[in-house]
Amino acid sequence: MANQFNKCFPSFTLLDSEFSPGHRVIDNFSECISFNICRKGNNNKLRKQELNEIVLENLSSPSVAIIVSDASIKNNIAIFITHIHVFDKPLMKMIHHAVYVTSTEAELFAIRCSINQSLSVNNISKIVVITDSIHMVKKVFDLSVHSYQTQLITILSDLRNFFNRCETNSIEFWECLSHLK
């Protein structure tokens, strides 16, 4: 059975403007992007409380999209689940299955879909992404040569459009360790 999600188009295109120095999203909008990483040795109970507070604080605003994303692979089947909430209401829950993809491909696809869906909501000015794969999120902004840059072009292009709409638009990435659920 043909499944369009089985491939995340792993290839490299050096000529895309998203990778040109001075034109990159991370260069032009660095103040709009933040990473909140859980450091080794941090108290898990405090981290869980911090994440709960972030969610509760942001769910009271109709201009904030909260994304909770996770992906895993078992027996060569990737499952990625994304929950998107806006103003204390579930906007969308996406569950995708794909076979014979790497965990990197699955995570990038989950990030790509969730950001894309969040940006389709009118009046969104802030996106908060909670994920256990902060290392994958950092790959989105790592413009060194690797085989997933075609995926990254789409994510970066979407973010560029989002940041260009309003100079106060922002995206925050919060790491949530898997065992915190």
Query: Quick one: pLDDT at residue 163?
Result: 94
Question: In the prediction, which pLDDT does 52 show?
Answer: 84
Q: What is the pTM of this model?
A: 0.80
pLDDT greater at residue 49 or residue 15: 49
pLDDT, tens digit, 9 for 90 and up, residues 63-105: 999 988 887 788 888 887 888 888 877 778 888 888 888 777 7
Contacts of 98 (CB under 8 A, 6+ apart): 3, 5, 6, 77, 78, 80, 105, 106, 109
Q: Which is more confident, 1 or 88?
A: 88
* CB 110, CB 84: distance < 8 Å: no
For residue 151, what pLDDT is reported?
74
Q: Which position has the token pair 């000529």?
A: 15
Assign 19 to helix, strand or coil: helix
Long-range contacts of 81-85 (CB under 8 A, 24+ apart): 81/110, 82/110, 82/113, 82/114, 82/117, 84/114, 84/117, 84/118, 85/59
Domains and CATH numbers, the chain: 40-180 (3.30.420.10)
Please enumerate in sequence order all residues whose Cβ is within 8 A of that of 103, keeping only pairs 6 or more positions apart, or say none.
71, 72, 73, 78
Reported confidence tier of residue 2, pLDDT bands at 50, 70, 90:
very low
Q: What is the 3-state secondary structure (H, E, C) of 23-54?
A: CCHHHHCHHHEEEECCCCCCCHHHHHHHHHHH
Mean pLDDT of 20-41: 79
Q: Sorting pLDDT into bands at 50, 70 and 90, what band is 3? A: very low
Residues 95/121, Cβ–Cβ less than 8 Å: no
Task: Report the pLDDT averaged over residues 27-43.
Answer: 82
122-140 per-position pLDDT tens digit: 889 999 998 888 877 887 7
Rounded Cα distance between 167 and 170, Å, is 8
